[in-house]
Amino acid sequence: MKHLSKSVKTLGASLLLASAFVTQPALANGPIGEHVNHLQENIKDYSEEVEWMVGKVDTMVTDYSKIGAKAVNSDDLIEYWESVKFHSAIETNFVPVYASIWQGIYGVKMAIDNNKPAQEVRNQQKAMNIALWQGLGAVKLAAKFQQKGLLNTVKATATEGMTQSATIDEIKHKLDRVVAKFAERLNEEATEIVHDTYLHLFEGVEGTLIEQDAKLVEVLEKDFNVTLPQTIKSAKSVDEVRDVVSDMHTKLDRAKTLIEKAEKSRKDVF
């Protein structure tokens, strides 16, 4: 709980964070539950879920340090994260911390997959834990704003008026803008476009895609939340960012093909 008190103090002192909640638009997301519109009532559950996840990852890292990679399945990390309600509570309220949690999870996963020393895995675990506690602090703060009527209701209508295949085209267009903004040296704006595109567009087609190719969804989630933001932060040239976006375009082309197939099947049925 020590991490939590520090995180809440930091978050509570930040006017920028507060303004981020107040201006948060209505989002759309297939798997997001109604609980996100009743944050205060679910704080106890969110807290227990964070504790649970910290414990599960600690057990995994301990097993890895004692026995090695053969003792663990790093894919479970993603399963843990996506199984908790807290996942969507932080996703709909403070995206930068949400992305940091994803980055922490993949930091642990990649360290295990690459057979890194146990201490390095522990370091990644610590970064993930800090992000989780920060996320819980952010959700608690969001709950206060929500009770005052300062947050918009979250709706599951991200791509209203747009077919899912057309949404994929829009996602690709947004990613091209990311490259342009990076070229203008507007890195923060480029990163914001990545986060917004993930939340407002990709999440709207994710449900259909999971039915067609769950692994593709997992890879694209990593691209949106880890690979592309980190590349924007560290890239020395526009080509480095463009290469990541180009790779995402290829995956999104496959996603569009799968979605069009699903859309055609639905039409054939009706």
| pLDDT tens, residue by residue, 115-136 | 999 999 999 999 999 999 999 9
pLDDT of res. 75: 93
More confident residue, 22 or 94: 94
- State the pLDDT confidence band at 100, using cuts at 50, 70 and 90: confident
Helix 95-113 vs helix 118-147: crossing angle, to nearest 10: 160
Q: Read off the tokens for 269.
A: 């049925």
Q: CA 68 to CA 112: how far, in whole Å?
A: 9
pLDDT of res. 13: 39
**pLDDT > 70? residue 88:** yes
Measured between alpha carbons, how far apart are the two ends of the chain, in Å?
54
pLDDT of res. 17: 47
pLDDT of res. 128: 96
In the chain, DSSP assigns E strands to: none
Q: CA 257 to CA 270: how far, in whole Å?
A: 20
Comparing CA positions, the residue from 239, 248, 92, 91 lying closest to residue 171 is 248
